[in-house]
Structure 1
């Protein structure tokens, strides 16, 4: 931990430092920012990361003006991640938070516009007066490609996937659709609250959108839930039979919520999750999923690895097509969402997806 007395700062620092090997930061810039951060001061956190973001944004703009697009793309990606990092601990009432997020969106969309092949900013109608935004990144040199829909956690933005995922998808002939759902993304200030059924209908609407594209093979669409977004991916796959593969949590977060509520209804008595796991799994929403499932978990993730193993074993015994990968501390990638080593996590996950819906490269 960078700051042993401040777990939240240390976790976020690990996230942004781990992004270096994916192009979302540089090691030297991260260490320079950390050296000037006072872990008791949110202001110092904001100032240092915003400074790094501004420098990268300026370098990117100058490189683009000089015709050096590769350099511009790299700098815009880093700037977007640094702007995202700068605002993480700011109060919603602080106007600078909105400014930092607008800069993150702007840098991300500059990247989409200039990358080859160019990405698209797409939107779908979701309710009477609401739209949802996504980024579509087509696979190179492929007429009707398999697609992976990527779902973020509630506290994430789809922009964070721009430096993490395209390389792994495109090297395997897969297109990507990075999506917002209600309460996420550029409309977060408008759609603050949403329920579980909003999740299912929104994901199905994104599937409808893909089915109408001429450059997509609608029989080969996978869903990938990153971090806590894995529970959203489970719900999406459980209520839409069109998915060909799902990287999700197999309903395990949902089971924990149900166990907690059962304990509250029983008068607050603690639920022995391990003891009741077989009973809980019999009612898991994951049993509605008809496609192959991958559960990818770090040994030191927020969910207990032993509970996850029991759940997956129970689902497999009931006939579910389910694979479990636990990244151990000895190989790294053992933290939540493999933030400490995202490369290892993404390599394994996209190989698994390609084996089921895409071309192996």
Structure 2
């Protein structure tokens, strides 16, 4: 990839995200120099993020608030690209995560896009902290999305990735970590998430009839269970019950000692039964770093179409390299939140 392909640091968010998506789509590693390429690209995207951060700081000092916010969001996108290119146990990964946290803290300088740390109280008297990002003015009654991080991802990391995605969409976010949900051992996850929905519904700047849920990675299972148990959920990005269905298949195969024991007709009926538990529009993220296989998701969608059940699929673009797969998170996140924006629009 030629140096001329690197994005110019101008603080324009849409251009920065297009450049990041194009870079990820064209990402390749040569067999011999893959490690060196990876290190160089991590350093370059970290540098791009740092330059955007400096530009944002300069804009805030000159009173250009909107331009400062856009530059900081560009920085967060660049740092996330860098984070995706390194292994989790690499020191550069820790550096990228630290820069993400610093980028979020910059928002404390902004009265327009202030990120709050809020306390969620559960029914079992336990409590935990979450991030809340308002859609805009306190007088605005906006839709909101409960976002649950993946099992090996912090709420801070997820927030840093999503801030550039929701900018300008008029959607509030409540970002919580998978660990916080799991640590409330005395209450099932769906009860804990209902407490999160209670918190949002009580806010004057949130429309309680337009609250969705988005589960990242294994948290997609939690999102499914929550949407099935709480009819107030207006839209769900989840696994559509496929994780539980896979467990059922595995149990049957283990008991019978046969690999193909389930009749496909019965399987179709069972998949449809699972998805019928959800009373809201559903988007299933299949493949990539998620837990849902593309083949099972396609079967689920076909079953739902036959049963006139509304369901949509997103299949993130994965770039295969000699050292593993890298997801084009830019395009998949944009697709997910475009869908949520449409589903949660006032009708």
Same fold per superposition (TM over 0.5) = yes
| Alignment pair present for 1:149 and 2:139 | no
CA contact (8 A) 1:105 1:159 kept: yes
| Alignment pair present for 1:323 and 2:314 | no
Query: Equivalents in 1 of 2:205, 2:125: separation in Å?
Result: 28
CA contact (8 A) 1:327 1:334 kept: no
Query: Equivalents in 2 of 1:123, 1:266: separation in Å?
Result: 48
Structure 1 residues 145 and 56: CA distance shift in structure 2, 3 A: closer
CA contact (8 A) 2:147 2:176 kept: no
Taking the TM superposition and a 5 Å limit, the aligned residue runs for 1:173-322 are 175-183=171-179, 199-225=189-215, 229-267=219-257, 269=259, 274=264, 276-281=266-271, 284=274, 286-289=275-278, 291-295=279-283, 303=292, 307-312=296-301, 314=303, 322=309
What is aligned with 2:129?
Answer: 132
Structure 1 residues 88 and 350: CA distance shift in structure 2, 3 A: same
Query: Which deviates further from its counterpart, 55-64 or 139-148?
Result: 139-148
Shift of 1:343: 4.5
Query: Equivalents in 1 of 2:209, 2:266: separation in Å?
Result: 37
Shift of 1:308: 3.1
Which of 337, 343, 347 is the aligned partner of 1:352?
343
Query: Equivalents in 2 of 1:64, 1:147: separation in Å?
Result: 28
Query: Equivalents in 1 of 2:141, 2:159: separation in Å?
Result: 24
CA contact (8 A) 2:212 2:340 kept: no
Query: Equivalents in 1 of 2:72, 2:332: separation in Å?
Result: 22
CA contact (8 A) 1:294 1:322 kept: no
What is aligned with 2:164?
Answer: 163
Q: TM-score, normalised on structure 2?
A: 0.70
| Alignment pair present for 1:40 and 2:35 | yes
User: Could you list the runs of 5+ residues in structure 1 that have no partner in the other structure?
Assistant: 3-18, 185-190
Shift of 1:81: 2.6
Shift of 1:91: 5.3
CA contact (8 A) 2:286 2:297 kept: no
CA contact (8 A) 1:277 1:311 kept: no
What do you get for the CA RMSD once the two structures are aligned? Answer: 4.4
Query: Equivalents in 1 of 2:179, 2:94: separation in Å?
Result: 15
User: Could you list the runs of 5+ residues in structure 2 that have no partner in the other structure?
Assistant: 2-11, 319-326
CA contact (8 A) 2:76 2:164 kept: no
Q: TM-score, normalised on structure 1?
A: 0.68
Structure 1 residues 280 and 54: CA distance shift in structure 2, 3 A: same
Deviation string 1:50-92 (CA, Å, 9 cap, x unpaired) is: 2222222222222222222233212211222332333345555
Shift of 1:235: 1.8
Query: Equivalents in 2 of 1:29, 1:317: separation in Å?
Result: 37
